[in-house]
Amino acid sequence: MEALMENLLTNVDWTEIGWASWDTLVMVGMSLLFSVLIGLPVGVLLFLFGKRQLLEQPIAYAVLSFVVNVLRSVPFIILLIVMIPFTVMLIGTSLGVAGAIPPLVAGGAPFFARLVETSLREVDRGIIEATQAMGATVKQVVFGALLPEALPGIIAGITVTAITLVSYAAMSGVVGGGGLGDLAIRFGYQRFQTDVMVITVALLVIFVQLLQMAGDRLVLYFSRK
Amino acid sequence: MIVFDQVQKSYQVGGRAIPALHPTSMTIETGEVFGIVGHSGAGKSTLVRLINLLEPPTGGRILIDDENITGYNASELRAFRRKVGMIFQHFNLLSSKTVADNIAFPMKLAGIYSRSEIRERVDELLKRVSLADQANKYPSQLSGGQKQRVGIARALACRPTILLCDEATSALDPQTTQSVLKLLADINRELGLTIVLITHEMDVVRRVCDRVAVMDAGEVVEMGAVSDVFLHPKHPTTRDFVFESESIDREEMQRDLEHAPGRILRLTFRGQSTYTPLLGSVARESGVDFSILSGRIDHIKDTPYGQLTLSLVGGDLDIAMNAFEAADVHVEVLR
């Protein structure tokens, strides 16, 4: 059995795979963290500035919405390239794990912001009204009622964003990003090492599955409806 | 005391002002249960939301205990709203919080209560609405009636002086409606709280309200003590509501009257006279024969009343009419 494995996977360097997996984890983890840190407040503002909402601001909404739409409409592979000068300015390099994180955040944050906006809109208006009737400030409505009520939806949004970031992170291999995608391109594609390709794809599939399962469990745990 | 002084509200729709409430003046006394009845779209929802300024008026003044609330700034308004509880048709409880946390929520928002004060008050309120054993459940685990009880407990948390009820029983079955209305009446009596209640069911008004305003197309068309409005409705909309609540088919009633001989009178008994054995003695004294075409005996809040439609034949009608009026019975000649 072991011999068979050796024969089939001649090109596979497991240490390399291990490091690449770790890199992917770091890229997804860090970019998810920043996407949530940026996307959550932007999503809340999008919701509050929206039509007939608490802080209705048509102009602010239009501006914010436009920026989000622009970032979301650029295909990620193009965003990776367009972002290079900015990434270099920000962290000194556009290569490796660190170099991949800014474009990943630029792709993930607006995506997550829209998901947050949508899940906040799902909250019953009556709950907002009731909270206002208790004499709550806008801040109290957001933190006391809106976010707790939308939490399951927001967690589902984080899951979807994380999975999107896994695929974006793999794509960043094209411009020297690092991680499993980089491995797949350099060895699997450019050197025709099909076994490396198969392993990296299998690992990505497992990774996505685990993320989805964990996300679903959390959503279930926080759902009281 | 809540005073509406020429209060009006209109919405801007496509650059045009659509009136939701025409200029309205009225007074709601401290400690009374005031009903506002009307069909959907009549403006009653708007009217009740003007009282805690969830809807700011577009004209006029609203005075609560002689203070003009329309002049409040943001922080004054928030402090004022804590003194006005509100319950809703669909309860509007936070699904992510337990029953106890829902009740504690307004106190936490106020930020002026200590943790032990909040715990004590929540326990007290849970007992008051008979939900002491449900404290750690989530709203989704409760029945409609229980949810509304949580809503009431939450509305009372900061010891308000006014309670606004927005179709509070419309989503409940008749039996649960009864118990929620009883709870509201008890609260009104025990705490001396002013209750403003909007509904589309005259029956709700009859059970708990002291006074009522009837609304139609953004206007208050009739207002007065519930017994007056209910027993002697003047405006067509009010009549519709009363007939509806007594499930009287007007055409059918008209047909019945056509078949009846002699004069037709409607007698209205109120309070103690409801129990007086009057008909027999009047018939003997005046020699009038009567048959009962329709009748109803019920309560308006705590006052018993009866309403009978009679057809009278023969004898001396004047003696009969005088005897009824002497006994404090209101007589209406229908034919």
Same structural domain for residues B117 and B180?
A: yes
Interface of B with A in 98-157 (CB under 8 A): 105-106, 108-110, 138-140
Q: Do B80 and A135 touch (CB under 8 A)?
A: yes
Same structural domain for residues B129 and B264?
A: no
Q: Is residue B310 part of a domain?
A: yes
Q: Cα separation of A92 and A82, whole Å?
A: 16
**Spatial contact of B139 and B99, defined as CB atoms under 8 Å apart:** yes
How would you list the strands of the sheet with B67-68, edge to edge?
A: B16-28, B2-13, B59-64, B67-68
Q: Do A126 and B90 touch (CB under 8 A)?
A: yes
In chain B, the residue whose alpha carbon lies closest to the alpha carbon of A222 is: B96
Q: How far is A216 from chain B (nearest CA, A)?
A: 17
Q: Cα separation of B313 and B291, whole Å?
A: 9
Half-sphere exposure of A212 (CA within 13 A, CB side): 9
pLDDT digit string (tens) for B167-192?
Answer: 999 999 999 999 999 999 999 999 99
Residue A1 has pLDDT above 70, yes or no: no
Average pLDDT over residues A130-142: 96
Same structural domain for residues B213 and B321?
A: no
pLDDT digit string (tens) for B82-94?
Answer: 999 999 999 999 9
Average pLDDT over residues B246-262: 78
- Asked if A129 has any chain B CB less than 8 Å from its own CB, the reply is yes
What are the beta bridge partners of residue B317? none
Query: How does the average pLDDT of chain B come out, rounded?
Result: 91
pLDDT digit string (tens) for A168-201?
Answer: 998 887 777 788 888 888 877 788 888 888 888 8
User: What ipTM, to 2 d.p.?
Assistant: 0.86
Q: Is residue B146 part of a domain?
A: yes
Q: How far is B109 from chain A (nearest CA, A)?
A: 6
Q: Do A135 and B78 touch (CB under 8 A)?
A: yes
Q: How far is A127 from chain B (nearest CA, A)?
A: 5
B242 token code pair: 């009363």
pLDDT of residue A133: 96
Same structural domain for residues B159 and B273?
A: no
pLDDT digit string (tens) for B10-21?
Answer: 988 888 888 999
- Asked if B46 has any chain A CB less than 8 Å from its own CB, the reply is no
How would you list the strands of the sheet with B194-199, edge to edge?
A: B84-88, B162-166, B194-199, B33-38, B211-216, B219-225
Q: Is residue B243 part of a domain?
A: no
Smallest CA-to-CA distance from B267 within B241, B302, B297 is with B297
- In chain A, which residue ranges form alpha helices assigned H by DSSP? 2-8, 14-49, 58-73, 76-82, 84-91, 96-121, 125-133, 138-140, 147-171, 180-183, 194-222
Tokens 């490796």 belong to which residue?
Answer: A96
Same structural domain for residues B9 and B64?
A: yes
Domain count along chain B: 2
Q: What angle do CA A117, A119, A121 make, to 5 degrees?
A: 70
pLDDT digit string (tens) for A85-123?
Answer: 998 988 888 888 888 999 999 999 999 999 999 999 999
- Asked if A96 has any chain B CB less than 8 Å from its own CB, the reply is no
Same structural domain for residues B279 and B219?
A: no
From chain B, pick out residues whose CB is under 8 angstroms from the CB of A131.
Answer: 105, 109
Residue A32 has pLDDT above 80, yes or no: yes
Q: How far is B321 from chain A (nearest CA, A)?
A: 54
Same structural domain for residues B293 and B184?
A: no
For the A35-222 domain, the top CATH level (class) is mainly alpha
- Asked if A54 has any chain B CB less than 8 Å from its own CB, the reply is no
From chain A, pick out residues whose CB is under 8 angstroms from the CB of B86.
Answer: 130, 133
Q: Cα separation of A216 and A218, whole Å?
A: 5
**End-to-end CA distance of chain B, in Å?**
43
Average pLDDT over residues B245-273: 81
What is the extent of the structural domain holding B305?
A: 260-333
Same structural domain for residues B143 and B218?
A: yes
Smallest CA-to-CA distance from B156 within B128, B115, B133, B177 is with B128
CA distances from A168 to A15, A22, A85, B19, B195 (A): 23, 16, 19, 53, 58
